[in-house]
Amino acid sequence: MTLTLEHVVKKYKDFTAVNDLSFTIGKGEIFGLIGQNGAGKTTTFRMILDLQEQTSGTITWDGTPIKKINSDYLGYLPEERGIFPQMKVEEQLLFFGELRGMKRHEIKKEIDFWIARFDLEEKRNSKAETLSKGNQQKVQLIASFIHKPKFLILDEPFSGLDPVNRDLLKSAILLLKEKGVTILFSSHQMDNVEELCDHLCLLKRGVSLFSGSLLDLKKQYGKTKLTLRTHIPLNELEKMAGVKEVKKDRDEYILTLLDESFAESIFDVVSNGQYIEKFSLDYLSLDEIFKDKVGGNVE
């Protein structure tokens, strides 16, 4: 079971929000859709959910037009959150499950599992408005997949979460992947995308700058990030052949190389035949690649 977009275009009068977008997401895959605000991510989500119709192109689920499949196959956690503040946690989840046609005893079983998984047992009968932001986020995430969708869209699921709750949500997302749920995931926090996604699409003003595996994207740049500890001063490192930029981070230097082939000669100079505590050559992070591709900071 795959989701496929082929040459999808969405226009609003003279404005093109999405232009010739194509990608495929396989069953049980977590696929990242990234870009700055206004890049076309939300428009793409809405077209996949059949909340908006594309101007041209096709969106299919396992070969069937998306508008013809059972809507219960889909789950959605929007960036703009929406839970009922006066409703208790369990009542809320029962409501969303019944809305999707589930039997009450089926929903109860799912609620018991996820309430325990997310450490919400003590909040089970609390009104949503009394919960912390992190616990509200957990409830909304459960509500998005309580009906066991085959395809799930998660838009900024980690927004505003502390590290402990972020790890809980990540483990839940990975568990859904193990169960065969296909997930389309968006976040402005590139470390989350890098950790969870094997494939991604990078959008800029509605146009795909890259679509494919994360590793293939990194290989476009090569291993040009060199991290080392040395007593050689920054101004001397900057003068070395093949060095594009040097930054100091506490007791380490981070060098951006023109090409990974320069690493060997740099190693010879900084080590001078002696032991060197740290010399690590790696690909650029997704955050660094994103800023280079898009030409600005993540918004």
pLDDT band (50, 70, 90) for residue 161: confident
CATH code for the part of the protein at 223-282:
3.30.70.980
Q: Given the DSSP bridges, would you call strands 225-228 and 252-257 parallel, antiparallel or unpaired?
A: antiparallel
Cβ neighbour number for residue 110 with a 10 Å cutoff: 17
Residue 117 has pLDDT above 90, yes or no: yes
pLDDT attached to residue 296: 54
CATH architecture of 3-214: 3-Layer(aba) Sandwich (3.40)
Long-range Cβ contacts of 34-38 (<8 Å, 24+ apart): 34/186, 34/187, 34/188, 34/190, 34/193, 34/200, 34/201, 34/202, 34/203, 34/290, 35/202, 35/203, 35/204, 35/294, 36/204, 36/294, 36/296, 36/298, 36/299, 37/299, 38/205
Q: Which residues contact 41 (CB under 8 A, 6 or more apart)?
A: 33, 34, 35, 155, 186, 203
For the chain, the domains span 3-214, 223-282
- For the ranges 73-87, 107-121, 171-185, 217-231, the lowest mean pLDDT is seen at 73-87
Number of C-beta neighbours around residue 253 at 10 A? 21
Tell me the per-residue pLDDT of 37-47, one tens digit each, with 9 for 90 and over: 899 999 999 99
Q: Residues 6-54: pLDDT tens digits?
A: 999 999 999 999 999 999 999 999 999 999 989 999 999 999 999 999 9
For the chain, what is the mean pLDDT? 93
